[in-house]
Structure 1
Amino acid sequence: MKRKITLFLILSLLITSLAACKDPNKNSEINNGSNDEVIEDDEGKKDNNKDEKITITVQVEKEWREYYEKAADRVKDRYPNANIEFIEKSTVEHIELLDNINPEDEKVADLFTLPLERLYDMEKKYVLGQLDAKSIAENLNISDHYDKGLGAQFKVDDRYMAFPMNIKTLLNFVNTKNAQANDIDTVKDIEFTELSNEDILIPLFDIWYGISFMNATNIELLTKVEPDEFYSDMTRYFSELSVDEEETFRAIFNYWYYSQKEDSKLFSKDEYMDFMDTSFKTGGNTSLRPGSIKSKKHLSKLAEGEINILPIEKLVVMGNPLLQWKDGDGLAINTRIKDDNDKKEITKAMIEEIVNRDYALEFFKETGKILENMDLETYINSDLNERDKKLIKVSYKSYEDAEKRPASKEWEKVSATWEKAILSWNTLNPQTVEEAYEILQYEFKDMINSIK
């Protein structure tokens, strides 16, 4: 009897000791039908189960969706627990949405396209999350020259806020039938001042087009001279301009002046697009129309397929080639996921697959977009049609010759200042280039003062 009691006491002590060894602040629960244990801490927070779905939303334009879905499938091959949902909106619509609602709203995506010109504005509104862009560049084998191109352009201070998606620059589109009918020689350089107003249509009130004239003669619309001090060539008097600069502004003024005389709608912000489309159609008066890479499909349709594509520098003003910016779109993440490492990892993988150089041809075919860090020969030696090959070749040429786009939050004021000044000519009706320039000078002086 005494041995039984002794054995009982030993067993009791052993059970008590084992119970005491268990962490009193932890409890475990077993998933039904699963061997995976989910650990819960004293605050009731659960660690991610390896089978738990991680959902991100991605903004996509309708025409891009098939390509994006294939990219998402490749991400899911790497991350089986990734759930990628799409918000089908154009880039413009999605940016407008971000302008008007909180980035926490589910109507906006975790990953979206960001035009370079909206970088500082979106960053200032706390819409963007910081990206580990250099790591993405390393995974894509483009890290050696990443900071020499658009990658550096998408930085704010020392933070990468988007990853380059595609290049953008200005090209010359030629309706070949109209050019032949209007006796426009596109083999040699095309002198802007020798063309009639309808031979070429450029909405010069838009800085995207106007800057190519400024770059032609190195006119600085805004530059930083000290950490907190800015300067613009436009604050000079007309008499202080060089001969080339004077002639550039004379060309712009004459283009506006005779457009007004002919009752053209080119300088009407509400009507210029319809006017340009009608005039560029085959049988119309317009032979040349500068536009972006994505304009090709639309302009080709207007020209009934009879279209040629030339570098923007083929067009000269007083012998000086027009030069655009090195511009582009980026892929950015919503600030709401900046602290969610799981979602950031999936969005990072999605970025890598969207701009994966192994799929550069599919990317172009399905989105019309051209990668920055890509070997031209990959496109040239492909099954693309000859017109698309020429578009890509000309795009790289114009992009290579283009000026680096200014990157500062203050530069956002330049576009509005330029547009306001040029469009004000419609009501102020200057009769000489000096009068027209004085209006520009006044607006830019006002802009510089507002920055100070």
Structure 2
Amino acid sequence: MKKIATLLLTSMLAMTVASCTPATPTTTAGGTTPATTPSTTAAGTTTPATTPTTTTGSVTDPKATITVQAEAGWKPYYEQAVANMKTKFPDSTVTLVEVGAMDNLTIIDTTDAMNEAVPDVFAVPADRLPSMINKQAFTPIPAADMAAAIGGYDNFETYGSILKDGDDYLAFPMNIETLITFVNPKNAQDLGIDLTKPFEVKDQKGNELAVEAYNAWFGVAFANAVGLDLLGKDGTTFTSDMIKDWADLGAEKQGVITELYNYWKRVYDNSPELWDTQTAGGKINEMFKDGGKVAMRIDGPWATPNLVKDVPGLDVLPLSHITVNGAPLKHWQGLWGLGINSRNEGDAAKMTLAQEFIQELLNPANAEAFFKATGKIMPNVPAATYEATGLADIEKKTISATIESFKTAENRPLFAEWGQVWNTWQDAMISWNSSKPANAEAAYKALQDSFKAMMGNIGQ
């Protein structure tokens, strides 16, 4: 990646200009959020929303024009930020480009960031960052300084490090996300489940917890619980616990495979649709409704709006509420970032305006409106602050569960080779339907063979 922008922007941090936080309430599609509402960090420090949110100073009035990617549902919130920027910098222009985040990244993957259709500022999920690095799509930004100006961060590096390439921050954290536990309290009561206690997977009698564990996206939650490494990387060397012999796995890791096998066995005998890539999702949806035999399921915070339509009494708990042989489940620390197109590197006015706009979008004083518009949870806003907002109770529960689950989640592997794990895991798991392994050790053999083949493909 080019370093020119980093050096340029570092030199621009000598001065600051006035805060971009409006003194009057900010109105969005989600309602009116007082811009002067203080935000409280996880450490308990109150940061007034009037804290300056400007990091650059040598271009104090950027007379520039930039374009910003926005999904259709995000636009009302973004439009208010555009209006605020126009008030602050009358000679600047910020134009929104309505395009889906993934669609925009596909344009970059198939062409490059120089494509005129690609905006100057756009969102990227952390798992797509490696491909954006390969395409040199982002220019480095002084994210740590931006975080200090925005406020609310107890430890910015927890989030910022996920969006780095070497020492360079390529995007600014936009949200946090990870898997959480969704509960149908009525079904739980009917099935005799005490929700005040952790739910132990090995104690299942039926499919009280339904999960598409053959999909590594969900399987990772079980693997991470006991440190079962599906694919690791140390320098240029790749490693995997999944190529070890059964006897060498150790009791904890054997225990996870055993419980996944036991789940498959119950499903195969009673509800085979639950272990089928074509039917499992719909079957879980049906069984999770009131009166069904599923009391808990695992998904991300994005699932709440649809689930609550089917389950009016929906509850949400941290992922750690579910344990496997006593070990709490935990997923990955997921987040999105906002980055600046590399074609702007060296253009001080555009870089300043782009950074200012990112800071305006992610002002923690507007966390409620931001969530209502995007469904995204700001990393620098604690659950207590969200609790005091006008969000619906189910939204507050979702946010709280996500924040708690993120704290215990693992770093997501972002090297390209990990992409081979998806089919490797799933193909071996689905093969159980035809091979019908007699026990967990036999079931593991299919996984071991599949992962050995994958490691050979990687060149290990």
Q: Kindly provide the amino acid, as one letter, of the partner of residue 147 in structure 2.
A: A
**Gap change, CA 1:397 and 1:52, over 3 Å in 2:** closer
2:211 to 187, 193, 202: 202
Structure-2 residue corresponding to 1:136: 146
Counterparts of 1:8-407 in structure 2, within 5 Å, are: 54-141=64-151, 145-147=155-157, 149-225=158-234, 227-303=235-311, 305-407=312-414
**For residues 201-249 of structure 1, what are the alpha-carbon distances to aligned partners after superposition, in whole Å with 9 as ceiling and x for unaligned?**
2111332311110111111223334x22222111211111222211210
CA distance in 2: counterparts of 1:117 and 1:194, whole angstroms: 34
CA distance in 2: counterparts of 1:203 and 1:82, whole angstroms: 49
Q: Which structure 1 segments of 5+ residues have no match? A: 1-49
Q: How does the TM-score come out when normalised to structure 1?
A: 0.81
User: Over the residues paired in the alignment, what is the CA RMSD in angstroms?
Assistant: 2.6
Rg bigger for which structure? 1
DSSP-derived class of the 1:58 partner: strand
**For residues 62-109 of structure 1, what are the alpha-carbon distances to aligned partners after superposition, in whole Å with 9 as ceiling and x for unaligned?**
222111111222222232233222232333333344333433333333
> How many Å apart are 1:192 and its aligned residue?
1.3
CA distance in 2: counterparts of 1:428 and 1:72, whole angstroms: 58
DSSP-derived class of the 1:120 partner: helix
Q: Kindly provide the amino acid, as one letter, of the partner of residue 445 in structure 2.
A: E
> How many Å apart are 1:261 and its aligned residue?
3.5
**Gap change, CA 1:176 and 1:129, over 3 Å in 2:** same
CA distance in 2: counterparts of 1:336 and 1:233, whole angstroms: 42
**Gap change, CA 1:428 and 1:129, over 3 Å in 2:** farther
> How many Å apart are 1:172 and its aligned residue?
0.7
CA distance in 1: counterparts of 2:356 and 2:149, whole angstroms: 10
**Percent of pairs identical after alignment?**
33
CA distance in 1: counterparts of 2:331 and 2:195, whole angstroms: 19
Assess if the C-alpha contact under 8 Å between 1:150 and 1:327 holds in 2.
no
CA distance in 2: counterparts of 1:99 and 1:270, whole angstroms: 28
> How many Å apart are 1:299 and its aligned residue?
0.9
CA distance in 1: counterparts of 2:114 and 2:360, whole angstroms: 25
**Gap change, CA 1:88 and 1:79, over 3 Å in 2:** same
Q: Which moved more, 1:416-425 or 1:195-204?
A: 416-425
**Gap change, CA 1:176 and 1:140, over 3 Å in 2:** same
DSSP-derived class of the 2:229 partner: coil
**For residues 306-335 of structure 1, what are the alpha-carbon distances to aligned partners after superposition, in whole Å with 9 as ceiling and x for unaligned?**
111111111111221111222211112333
**For residues 135-189 of structure 1, what are the alpha-carbon distances to aligned partners after superposition, in whole Å with 9 as ceiling and x for unaligned?**
3223213677222x11011111222121111111111111122222333322211
Q: Which structure 2 segments of 5+ residues have no match? A: 1-59
CA distance in 1: counterparts of 2:229 and 2:189, whole angstroms: 37
CA distance in 1: counterparts of 2:220 and 2:419, whole angstroms: 13
CA distance in 2: counterparts of 1:242 and 1:166, whole angstroms: 36
Q: Kindly provide the amino acid, as one letter, of the partner of residue 135 in structure 1.
A: D
1:432 to 432, 439, 457: 439
Assess if the C-alpha contact under 8 Å between 1:117 and 1:412 holds in 2.
no
CA distance in 2: counterparts of 1:334 and 1:436, whole angstroms: 47
